[in-house]
């Protein structure tokens, strides 16, 4: 007879600190930000892990996983984020549909992830392919990690077919994206930041900015953020945090963000582990009082893509639950996922 054990656990939350700071010129900026606030009460979860002995059947183990009964189609499966999401979803017991959309150059190619061969389709016959997959897998949820230029066309397609989706791709025309999905009245989770803990930090910053406006009046702000060399623009997360500091009374120009993109600087100055130079997000916000006798630092360092992949899978599980409960067909975000209180 199979036996099992249940134990409480929590992840290793060790962090890596920036090695140095730099001074910057500060200015004024009046840019707004996306709000994460709500009056709903949060519930904090206790996470349980279950282990089974070797004589347990594979099907029994699979049926006990949170993603059992859910299928996903990951568009952009050949990219690093797409592959990371597939691995996280597979570990959660989610069924991976062997179909994906990619660029015209990728059409007809096969991508192997977690021992699964996924066929990539280009722009032709996308509606026919998606409709066929959705008919075969009525519990299907699409995950989008494609490219900014494809966001709006993809959203139009998902809305037309009526398939629920999680949009992790950033960029594109965001106003048009929301208008398209709201008009279609389908289930969707759309968020420019899928890292649950980072989203929680942003929400806390917004609460502080709303309740204590001007608390840091007169303080100067230095911001340094490091990402892989392929990321040419400033982090949207950094801009959101800076907007909160502006509401707290800090004068700062978004153009003053120090972007670190040189791998040598990232390793030697910032302290990014060499193996994560190609995929990381290190942010440091340093505040100094007018007389320079008081300073505050806020930082969040992310190595790899697992935090975003795990957040994406939680968004999939959240959306599947909403569908099963026949909740409102609307656009949800990662704050909604956080509030649900049942993240793994």
Q: Which residues are catalytic?
A: 227, 231
171: left (phi over 0), alpha (psi -120 to 50) or beta: left
Q: Is the Cβ–Cβ distance between 311 and 194 less than 8 Å? A: yes
Distant-in-sequence, close-in-space partners of 154: CB < 8 Å, separation ≥ 6: 75, 101, 144, 146
How far apart CA 66 and CA 72 sit, in angstroms, is 14
How far apart CA 71 and CA 116 sit, in angstroms, is 14
Check residue 65 and report its DSSP letter.
Answer: S
Q: Is the Cβ–Cβ distance between 82 and 103 less than 8 Å? A: no
Helices (H), 110-150: 126-136
How far apart CA 327 and CA 315 sit, in angstroms, is 15
Structure tokens at 289: 């009082």
Check residue 108 and report its DSSP letter.
Answer: T
CA distances to 88, 125, 134, 176, 224 from 122, rounded to whole Å, are 25, 8, 18, 23, 39
Structure tokens at 113: 């992830």
Q: Is the Cβ–Cβ distance between 241 and 202 less than 8 Å? A: yes
Alpha-carbon torsion angle 117, 120, 125, 130, nearest 10: 60
Longest Cα–Cα distance in the chain: 70
Structure tokens at 97: 């549909």
Phi then psi for 244, rounded to 5 degrees?
A: -65, -45
């Amino acid at each position: 007879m199979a036996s099992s054990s249940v134990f409480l656990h929590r992840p290793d939350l060790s962090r890596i600190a920036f090695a140095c700071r730099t001074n910057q010129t500060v200015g004024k900026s009046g840019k707004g930000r996306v709000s994460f606030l709500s009056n709903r009460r949060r519930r904090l979860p206790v996470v349980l892990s279950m282990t089974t002995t070797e004589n347990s059947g594979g099907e029994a183990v699979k049926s006990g996983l949170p993603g059992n009964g859910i299928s996903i189609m990951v568009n952009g499966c050949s990219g690093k984020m797409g592959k990371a999401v597939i691995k996280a979803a597979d570990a959660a017991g989610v069924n991976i549909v062997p179909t994906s959309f990619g660029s015209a150059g990728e059409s007809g190619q096969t991508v192997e992830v977690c021992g699964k061969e996924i066929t990539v389709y280009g722009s032709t016959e996308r509606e026919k392919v998606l409709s066929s997959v959705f008919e075969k897998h009525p519990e299907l949820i699409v995950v989008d990690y494609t490219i900014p230029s494809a966001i709006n066309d993809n959203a139009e397609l998902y809305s037309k077919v009526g398939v629920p989706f999680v949009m992790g791709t950033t960029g594109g025309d965001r106003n048009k994206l929301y208008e398209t999905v709201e008009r279609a009245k389908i289930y969707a989770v759309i968020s420019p930041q899928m890292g649950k803990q980072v989203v929680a930090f942003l929400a806390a910053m917004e609460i502080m900015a709303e309740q204590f406006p001007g608390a840091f009046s007169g303080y100067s702000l230095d911001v340094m953020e490091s990402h892989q060399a392929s990321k040419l623009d400033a982090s949207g997360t950094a801009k959101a945090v800076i907007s909160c500091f502006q509401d707290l009374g800090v004068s700062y120009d978004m153009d003053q963000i120090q972007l670190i993109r040189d791998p040598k600087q990232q390793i030697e100055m910032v302290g990014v582990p060499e193996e994560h130079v190609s995929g990381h997000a290190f942010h440091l916000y340093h505040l100094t009082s007018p007389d320079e006798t008081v300073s505050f630092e806020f930082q969040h360092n992310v190595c790899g893509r697992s935090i975003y992949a795990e957040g994406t899978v939680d968004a999939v599980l959240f959306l599947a639950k909403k569908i099963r409960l026949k909740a409102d067909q609307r656009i949800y975000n990662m704050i909604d996922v956080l509030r649900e209180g049942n993240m793994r």
